[in-house]
């Protein structure tokens, strides 16, 4: 058997080789796993919107008075999805008539024969009280909280006391019309 004696220069080669191998396996890991950090910003704007699909946007509400029983009773028209609203801050919903009367040519019925109220099936929060229609903005819903695509179902009511009064009873037959405007206002 032969004994080999490594000279000092061979030891240098082994040491350098060990350093290179160590660097390759351990020092190179930073080259394989790099990191970068990114800041993500969510830039929010306040929104207050009456969504497409809201029946009140171009829709109609019809009250039919065809016989004695119709005039002698309260009439209620419940309109589901009257308004579909998305909002990020509390708001008030106001309503007003665009004129003082329902009109049929030269014949008129005062708009205050109609009451509008929130139906209990509505998803919209906030306090509500029935509104007797007028040409002035009146708060229908107050302090509604935020939400997305929440429906507001509305009841349109003509009380029997108004349909049996001279405001409606005795008017010439025909269609009496007036537009109603709903306005959302952030609070």
Q: What tens digit of pLDDT does each residue of 2-20 get?
A: 555 555 566 666 766 666 6
Percent of the chain whose predicted confidence (pLDDT) is above 70: 84
Confidence of residue 26 (pLDDT cuts 50, 70, 90): low
Mean pLDDT, rounded, of the chain: 89
Are the CB atoms for 86 and 49 separated by under 8 Å?
yes
pLDDT of residue 187: 85
What the chain holds in terms of domains, given with CATH numbers, is 48-186 (2.60.40)
> Above 80 in pLDDT, residue 176?
yes
pLDDT of residue 1: 56
């Amino acid at each position: 058997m032969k004994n080999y004696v490594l000279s000092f220069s061979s030891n240098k080669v082994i040491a350098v080789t060990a350093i290179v191998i160590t660097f390759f396996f351990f020092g190179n890991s930073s080259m394989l796993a790099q990191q970068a950090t990114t800041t993500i910003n969510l830039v929010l704007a306040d929104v207050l919107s009456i969504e497409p699909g809201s029946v009140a946007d171009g829709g109609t509400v019809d009250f039919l008075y065809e016989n004695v029983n119709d005039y002698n009773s309260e009439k209620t028209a419940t309109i589901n999805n009257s308004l579909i609203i998305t909002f990020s801050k509390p708001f008030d919903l106001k309503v007003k008539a665009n004129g003082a009367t329902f009109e049929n040519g030269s014949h008129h019925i005062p708009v205050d024969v109609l009451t509008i109220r929130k139906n209990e099936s509505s998803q919209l929060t906030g306090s509500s009280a029935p509104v007797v229609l007028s040409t002035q903005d009146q708060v229908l819903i107050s302090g509604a909280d935020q939400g997305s695509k929440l429906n507001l179902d509305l009841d349109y009511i003509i009380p029997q006391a108004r349909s049996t009064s001279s405001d409606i009873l005795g008017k010439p037959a025909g269609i009496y019309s007036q537009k109603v405007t709903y306005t959302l206002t952030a609070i």
